[in-house]
Amino acid sequence: MRVLEIASEAVPFAKTGGLADVAGALPEALAGLGCEVTLVVPAYAEALGKGLPIEPAGIEFDVPIGTGSRRARILRCRREGQRADAYLIANDDLFDRPTLYGGAGDYPDNAERFIFFSRATVELACRLGGPWDILHCHDWQTGLVPAYRRLLYASNPAVANARTVMTIHNMAYQGTFWHWDMLLTGIDWSHFTWREMEFYGQLNLLKTGIVFADAVSTVSPTYAREIQATPGGCGLEGLLASRRDSLVGIVNGIDTSLWNPACDPHLPRAFGENDVEDGKYAARVALAARLGHAAPDARPLVAFVGRLVEQKGITLILDAITKLAGTGRVHFMILGTGGEAEEQSLRRVAAAYPGTIDVVIGFDEGLAHLVQAAADITLVPSRFEPCGLTQLYAQRYGSIPVVRATGGLIDTVVDATPETIRAGSATGFVFQGFDAAGLEHALGRALVAYDDKPAWRRLVGHAMRQDWSWQASGREYVRLFERIRAGA
């Protein structure tokens, strides 16, 4: 099966969030399952400045944009040990910029940038020979690809029989633009209707992808259900409900070559299920030294690693740590960046409880690995979470997640109840409502369970044995691809 993966960011080329992790890892997983996979991303300044083996592919062409055109130069990257090819679409006017999407605000020409990228990708697919079986599009930046394939390139033999999949990573970001940007697409105005590309008078690129794709996927089964109703659908719930028969949820995987305590270079000592306590203690010693403490705290370590924003439940965490810090029961570790108000609030509460709360503002990949390895419990109290990776990393490292019952969190964490603990299926603690009381109760249950050492070891062991690899998720994508190729 020949698959073209199309994304606006992908590791190792450029990254702003979880989309890049998915787009970077999925092609290799699919290749390992027998697919012939090619990845296409923009040639951002960030990608070209990383010293990767990127070179001209000897392909250039003009891409129609409105009444004019933009030149596309195609670069290629072949990394040792990688099975999937990668192509980068270069245009210095559009992509040679300090950041991917904007600085204080979005770049004002983001519509043109990703209209160009989408059409250039289809043009490239036609030039790379065919036929392609699947064009797999990720998020609004690629939403025009299914429309282009169906409306403008249906007669091209390279893509004529290709099936398109539109994967939604976060419904909150839809790529809505001024209606006159429709002229840039080259698609006839007759398609600018509420049934296809128009959304309250604006051009909506995610909606376009959902309408024209042969199948729609998102990053967890529960999120697939949530976006078919308000507020999860962010205005597109009716459209998504109308596509329920071709809408599936596939949980993201994690790169187990990078997130693996048995071979993680960021840890002072490798460990697995059988020596997790020794491994965690070594990580705690290293973390304490890095934070300037003379020795690790003997209390259970409760951690949060992520963005310090309301969506991630930072207000609930602030409330919980303020109440629990004075009890002497736990030590808290917070790592992340966010709004200035949230960062200042965390600094204040940490200053009020020195030796009990550590806060590191910023993001450090190595420190994130070390915190997960050292922690006993990881907090993921999100308001909404399409999939989430933190809870998957936590399980992998034997840090028991405490999560809210939403999106991918409820799909990947089995609540520790007397029944699930006896059955050996529990992997964490789950609470329902988005409120501080729910988080505090769930964390309290976790701390009680922590005191029962034999039961806690069984819980940790079961969490570490879960298979959240991309190989498992890749198999689900292959099944989806095969189904739509067969016309089901």
Distance separating alpha carbons of residues 128 and 122, to the nearest angstrom: 10
- pLDDT of 97 > 70? The answer is yes
- Percentage of the chain with pLDDT > 90? 89
Per CATH, the number for 273-467 is 3.40.50.2000
| Residue 227 Cα to chain centre, angstroms | 17
The whole-chain average pLDDT of the chain stands at: 95
List C-alpha distances in Å: 138 to 4, 26, 80, 394.
11, 11, 25, 26
Q: How confident is the model at residue 50 (pLDDT cuts 50, 70, 90)?
A: very high
Alpha helix ranges (H) inside 292-406 = 314-324, 340-352, 365-374, 390-396
Q: What is the mean pLDDT of residues 142-158?
A: 97
CA 463, 466, 468 angle in degrees (round to 5)?
A: 125
pLDDT the model gives residue 488: 55
Amino acid at 277: E
Q: What is the mean pLDDT of residues 209-216?
A: 98
Q: What is the pLDDT of residues 439-449, one digit of tens each?
A: 999 999 999 99
- pLDDT of 255 > 90? The answer is no
- pLDDT of 435 > 60? The answer is yes
Looking at the chain, the number of H-run helices and the number of E-run strands are: 19, 18
pLDDT the model gives residue 18: 84
Q: What is the mean pLDDT of residues 107-136?
A: 96
- pLDDT of 104 > 80? The answer is no
Per CATH, which fold does 2-253+471-485 belong to?
Rossmann fold (3.40.50)
Q: Long-range contacts for 315-320 (Cβ within 8 Å, ≥24 apart)?
A: 315/436, 316/381, 316/434, 316/435, 316/436, 316/439, 317/379, 317/381, 317/439, 318/342, 318/345, 318/346, 318/349, 319/436, 319/439, 319/440, 320/379, 320/436, 320/439, 320/440, 320/443
Give ranges for CATH 3.40.50.2000 in the chain: 2-253+471-485, 273-467
- pLDDT of 230 > 90? The answer is yes
Q: What is the mean pLDDT of residues 21-44?
A: 95
Distance separating alpha carbons of residues 224 and 247, to the nearest angstrom: 7
- pLDDT of 129 > 90? The answer is no
Contact 433, 409 (CB under 8 A): no
Q: What is the pLDDT of residues 336-362, one digit of tens each?
A: 988 889 999 999 999 999 889 999 998
Q: What is the mean pLDDT of residues 17-44?
A: 94
